[in-house]
A and B are shown apart, each in its own frame.
Chain A
Amino acid sequence: MTHHPSAAEAPRTGPVIERPPLAPLIDVRDLAKHFTMRRRPPVRAVDGVTFRVAPGELVGYLGPNGAGKSTTLKMLTGLLVPTSGHITVAGRIPWRERRAHVATIGAVFGQRTSLWWDLPVIESFDLLRYIYRIPAERYRANLDTFRDLLDLDAFLQTPVRSLSLGQRMRADFAAAMLHDPTVLFLDEPTIGLDVVAKERVRRFVRHLNAERGTTVLLTTHDLADVERLCHRVLIIDGGRLLYDGNLAELQRRFGGRRELVIDLAEDVTDIGGDGSANRLDDPRFAVPGADVIARDGPRITYAFDRDATTAADLIARVTQRLRVVDLALKEPDIETTVRRIYEERLLDGA
């Protein structure tokens, strides 16, 4: 393994003492990928991204559609050559040393399979055993473990083309892990799966990370994946890295306000003189310490800060002023937080 002078540099985030003097397993610096197309301006799919991942970390790579997640993963797995910048994974440059690199990583691109379409699953596995030169006892042990964890037995003899999406994904997961890779790259690994299958896949990833120390970088649009699996998230948009830190911190900084939804005894829909319906600043519904953020017939939604007002106080104030028949309290969830970050571009310029 080559030595990285960068490993000695001061880390970008987090307290200094927490960082071990250990070469990062994944080292990405100023990475860029620009796609040029005829008669169109170049697309800056990835535009100067820098991050490091230590061995054993499980990191979520988030961002809205077209943010550049898949493009980053394709460069990390050696499929695409960067326009500029620097990548090493376990000390290797993925695109330059393709064969040595892919021998030590696993990758699952949720949208497509890496198995042989016409062959039964078990034959694909057997070919992979040969290609990766997996020792017989490792192969047997891994296959046994994965059959159990991913419940593969029912379709091991089925050709890949006849598998359901969930079955195919499980088979792809096992295929990606048969050779004991040190890093696993997952691009939307739970896309299109039902709740049970998603949970099974998450359990599998957690098992690999906890039991084998496999380093995992995963992209997803399902924030439940991130909540269940990742301590650390990277958020990218427009090809630029906007956030690198832990999920709880993200929630604390950008987590929306709590919401109180009330239903009034009568419909209060009204049209103002200027034609605007259900004005939010209608003085009839104003309550100190909270803002009306939505009105829909008899339903009014207030937002308030945890630090400024307690839910009990607010409910007392509201019920004092208005005839409330029903109410519900909504805690901000990570889904909403991230949606707000994407939509309102909260991290821009951060």
Chain B
Amino acid sequence: MRQGRAWRRGIASCVGRGEAIAEAIASPLRRAHHPVADLRHHLGLLVRLVGAQVRSQLQYRVSFTMDFVSSFLMFGFEFGALAALFVRFETLGGWTLGEVAFMGGLTAVSFKTMDMLFSGFDPPAFGEHVRKGTFDAILLRPAPLTLQVLGSRFVLMRVGAIAEGVAVFALALWLVDVHWTAAKLAFLPLVVIGQLAFFAALFVIGSTVTFWTVDSIEAMNILTYGGHELNQYPAHIYPLGLRRFFTYVVPTLFLAYYPTLYLLDKPDPTGMPSWVRFVGPVIGLGAFAGAMAIWHIGIRHYRSTGT
């Protein structure tokens, strides 16, 4: 009997509210038909998500400043140690201090910028989301998933490391007499983007894997951070096996080493065809596209198995 009442109350409330309900149901759909407006809305969301995090992190101004200062000090020590090596040996595989710094700075700026922009896809942080089930919250909000993950974490502290990379690069420009051409100037930002995209791809793949298992995070980290470290020094000084691995399996050498040969007019002791100097950006963007495809497979898997 009471059930009957509930039904009647249901009708009554529906008759009165019919229009409001129809509006509520229809409006998100209708809005979704304006792709440009949608895109603006989504980018606005990203800005807001990141902005909110930046604001909350800036509240801890002291620790933020400390971190910034300490990463600059680290830069001082690391660069000092490297310079000391060069005082002793003068060149590293035929490269001067300035040339090594050129590639190191470029690599650091690309990687650390990626590390900041893609904080949300940092595999351990993302894996924690999945493990704790908070990834569900993202699925419960009417906004694109990738964008929400990007906005879910933003480690502002990384600007210290980015500034460090910029400083190394600036120092390199002062030490090395680069023969700039219009083509080289145009290529330089592509090198940064290519490298950024490639390591972002590794982050995204590492995060996706946590949908299946969190045990593999370490293996993924070795590739990501190992590849990044190796991209700071002229690759021909590495043993052949290592070089092959990072050429054919995880092709990070195309992202910094070969482009730098072009930018600084250095000879190629590895004997690769000369066009490989230009493929870095393509490889980076291709890897990113592939990673996004894998990411969507991962989401599909998650939604069919849960955690």
The answer to whether A and B belong to the same complex is yes
Chain A residues proximal to chain B, CB less than 8 Å: 1, 14-15, 18-20, 22, 35, 54-58, 71, 74, 77-81, 90-91, 95, 98-100, 102-104, 107, 109, 111-120, 123, 127-128, 130-133, 159, 180-182, 213, 215, 231-232, 245-246, 248
Complex interface residues of chain B between 12 and 32 (CB less than 8 A to chain A) = 12-14, 16-17, 21-22, 24-25, 28-29, 31-32
Chain B residues whose C-beta falls within 8 Å of the C-beta of A18 in the assembled complex = 3-4, 7
Chain A min CB distance to B243 (Å): 37
Tell yes or no: B290 within 8 A of A by CB.
no
Contact with A along B53-70 (1 / 0, CB 8 A): 101100000000000000
Query: CB distance B3 to A246 under 8 Å?
Result: yes
With A79-B303, A112-B133, A113-B134 as given contacts, are A213 and B11 in contact (CB-CB < 8 Å)? no
Q: Pick the contact of B49 from A1, A95, A127, A215 — CB < 8 Å? A: A127
Interface size counted on chain B using CB atoms at 8 A: 48
Chain A residues whose C-beta falls within 8 Å of the C-beta of B303 in the assembled complex = 79-81, 95
- Per the bound structure, the CA–CA distance linking A163 and B25 in Å amounts to 33
Chain B min CB distance to A35 (Å): 7
Q: Pick the contact of A231 from B2, B21, B25, B56 — CB < 8 Å? A: B2
Chain A residues whose C-beta falls within 8 Å of the C-beta of B136 in the assembled complex = 74, 79, 109, 112, 114
Pick the most buried of A56, A74, A80, A102: most chain B CB atoms within 10 A of its CB.
A56
Chain B residues whose C-beta falls within 8 Å of the C-beta of A57 in the assembled complex = 6-7, 10
Q: Pick the contact of A213 from B5, B17, B142 — CB < 8 Å? A: B17
Chain B residues whose C-beta falls within 8 Å of the C-beta of A77 in the assembled complex = 140
Query: CB distance B3 to A232 under 8 Å?
Result: yes
Complex interface residues of chain B between 52 and 96 (CB less than 8 A to chain A) = 52-53, 55-56
Chain B residues whose C-beta falls within 8 Å of the C-beta of A117 in the assembled complex = 134
Chain A residues whose C-beta falls within 8 Å of the C-beta of B142 in the assembled complex = 98-100, 102-103, 131-132
- Per the bound structure, the CA–CA distance linking A120 and B57 in Å amounts to 12
Chain A residues whose C-beta falls within 8 Å of the C-beta of B134 in the assembled complex = 112-114, 117
Chain B min CB distance to A237 (Å): 20
Chain A residues whose C-beta falls within 8 Å of the C-beta of B304 in the assembled complex = 80-81
> Can you add 12 more A-B contacts, CB < 8 Å, to A74-B306, A78-B139, A112-B137?
A18-B3, A35-B306, A54-B6, A57-B6, A79-B136, A99-B28, A104-B25, A104-B28, A130-B45, A131-B142, A246-B3, A248-B2
Query: CB distance B2 to A182 under 8 Å?
Result: no
Query: CB distance B21 to A56 under 8 Å?
Result: no
Query: CB distance A131 to B3 under 8 Å?
Result: no
- Interface of B, secondary structure class, is helix
Smallest CB-CB A-B distances: 5 pairs: A213-B13, A56-B10, A114-B137, A103-B28, A18-B4
Query: CB distance A130 to B25 under 8 Å?
Result: no
- Which residue from chain A places its CB closest to the CB of B1 in the assembled complex? A246
Query: CB distance B25 to A133 under 8 Å?
Result: no
Tell yes or no: B44 within 8 A of A by CB.
yes
- Per the bound structure, the CA–CA distance linking A265 and B65 in Å amounts to 78
Chain A min CB distance to B278 (Å): 40
Chain A residues whose C-beta falls within 8 Å of the C-beta of B3 in the assembled complex = 14, 18, 231-232, 245-246
Query: CB distance A116 to B52 under 8 Å?
Result: yes
Q: Pick the contact of A54 from B10, B25, B55 — CB < 8 Å? A: B10
Tell yes or no: B48 within 8 A of A by CB.
yes
Pick the most buried of A120, A131, A215, A245: most chain B CB atoms within 10 A of its CB.
A131
Chain B residues whose C-beta falls within 8 Å of the C-beta of A246 in the assembled complex = 1-3
Query: CB distance B28 to A100 under 8 Å?
Result: yes
Chain A residues whose C-beta falls within 8 Å of the C-beta of B240 in the assembled complex = none
Tell yes or no: B181 within 8 A of A by CB.
no
- Per the bound structure, the CA–CA distance linking A181 and B24 in Å amounts to 8
Query: CB distance B13 to A133 under 8 Å?
Result: no
Q: Pick the contact of A133 from B7, B31, B305 — CB < 8 Å? A: B31
- Per the bound structure, the CA–CA distance linking A232 and B5 in Å amounts to 11
Tell yes or no: B132 within 8 A of A by CB.
yes
- Name 14 A/B residue pairs within 8 A (Cβ), A-sorted: A54-B10, A56-B11, A56-B14, A74-B136, A78-B139, A95-B303, A98-B142, A113-B137, A118-B56, A119-B53, A127-B45, A131-B143, A213-B16, A215-B10
Chain B residues whose C-beta falls within 8 Å of the C-beta of A118 in the assembled complex = 53, 56
Pick the most buried of B8, B25, B140, B141: most chain A CB atoms within 10 A of its CB.
B140
Pick the most buried of A1, A55, A74, A78: most chain B CB atoms within 10 A of its CB.
A55
Pick the most buried of B8, B11, B32, B141: most chain A CB atoms within 10 A of its CB.
B141
